[in-house]
């Protein structure tokens, strides 16, 4: 472990040698926040047909299902924090911690930049993180600014009973790569969820999937 520490709002922790490689891009994104990403008119100079889409919402609210449907219909690409973590870390290295989550999100953004450089017309859906803290959203918007991409926030919601049922079903069938995804995680994230005050589209996934998809497509259009 090296001695460099990076802060992400409330978090401060040492970066490993592999994380150090992304430190400069983190701070470049952070500096842009104050001048670009949250300005009311910052998107006016961007082509909003090119877009990074944040799939926000509590665990079990249907973010992944909706993201995959939208990607299939728009020739987009889903980047999943949980799948990146599962691919990079061995079972004994997986922490489900804020530092590891932040690191995986940064890799998502680096991957988005690479994909968009090769195909600027592609929609990128960021999945696997509830975006429960404002700094997580701000980091994505700053990265979007550096890439000259528009953005949208789709916040998935549903009843607690629906979320609990989905989480229990997935846990029983090992349908999800995240080992901490259970009803307890729903309550934990819910207790610290910071309301998203930026422009967003709220999608109630208690509705039929097709209805959710159509609502989201209108928001992306």
Average pLDDT over residues 49-65: 92
Q: pTM for this structure? A: 0.78
| Confidence (pLDDT) at 180 | 81
Per DSSP, the residues of 77-93 read: EEEEHHHHHHHHS-GGG
DSSP conformational letter for 54: E
| Confidence (pLDDT) at 50 | 67
Q: Is the pLDDT of residue 42 over 90?
A: no
Q: Is the pLDDT of residue 36 over 90?
A: no
Token reading at 220: 């992306």
Q: What's the mean pLDDT when you consider all of the chain? A: 82
Three-class DSSP category at 175:
coil
Residue ranges with strand state E in 4-146 = 5-8, 11-14, 51-56, 77-80, 124-127
| Confidence (pLDDT) at 154 | 98
Whole-angstrom distance, CA of residue 73 vs CA of residue 53: 14
Average pLDDT over residues 105-124: 93
Q: Is the pLDDT of residue 48 over 90?
A: no
| Confidence (pLDDT) at 2 | 36
| More confident: 84 or 16 | 84
- Model confidence at 177, pLDDT cuts 50, 70, 90, reads confident
| Confidence (pLDDT) at 170 | 84
CA atoms within 13 A on the CB side of 43: 15
Average pLDDT over residues 103-129: 94
CATH numbers and ranges of domains, the chain: 5-220 (3.40.50.300)
Q: Is the pLDDT of residue 167 over 80?
A: yes
Average pLDDT over residues 191-207: 97
Average pLDDT over residues 64-74: 96
């Amino acid at each position: 472990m090296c001695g460099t520490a990076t802060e992400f709002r409330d978090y401060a922790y040492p970066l490993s040698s592999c994380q150090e490689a992304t430190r400069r891009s983190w701070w470049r994104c952070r500096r842009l926040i104050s001048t670009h990403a949250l300005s009311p008119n910052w998107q006016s100079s961007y082509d909003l047909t090119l877009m990074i889409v944040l799939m926000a919402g509590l665990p079990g609210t249907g973010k992944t299902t909706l993201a995959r449907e939208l990607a299939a219909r728009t020739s987009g690409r889903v980047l999943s924090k949980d799948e990146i973590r599962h691919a990079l870390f061995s079972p004994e290295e997986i922490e489900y911690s804020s530092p590891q989550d932040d690191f995986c999100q940064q890799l998502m953004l680096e991957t988005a930049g690479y994909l968009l450089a090769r195909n600027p017309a592609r929609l990128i859906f960021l999945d696997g993180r509830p975006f429960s803290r404002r700094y997580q959203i701000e980091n994505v918007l700053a990265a979007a600014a550096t890439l000259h991409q528009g953005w949208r926030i789709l916040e998935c919601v549903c009843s607690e009973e629906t979320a609990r049922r989905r989480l229990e079903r997935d846990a029983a069938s090992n349908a999800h790569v995240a080992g901490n995804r259970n009803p307890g995680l729903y309550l934990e994230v819910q207790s610290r969820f910071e309301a998203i005050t930026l422009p967003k589209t709220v999608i109630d996934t208690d509705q039929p999937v097709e209805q959710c998809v159509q609502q989201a497509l209108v928001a992306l259009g």
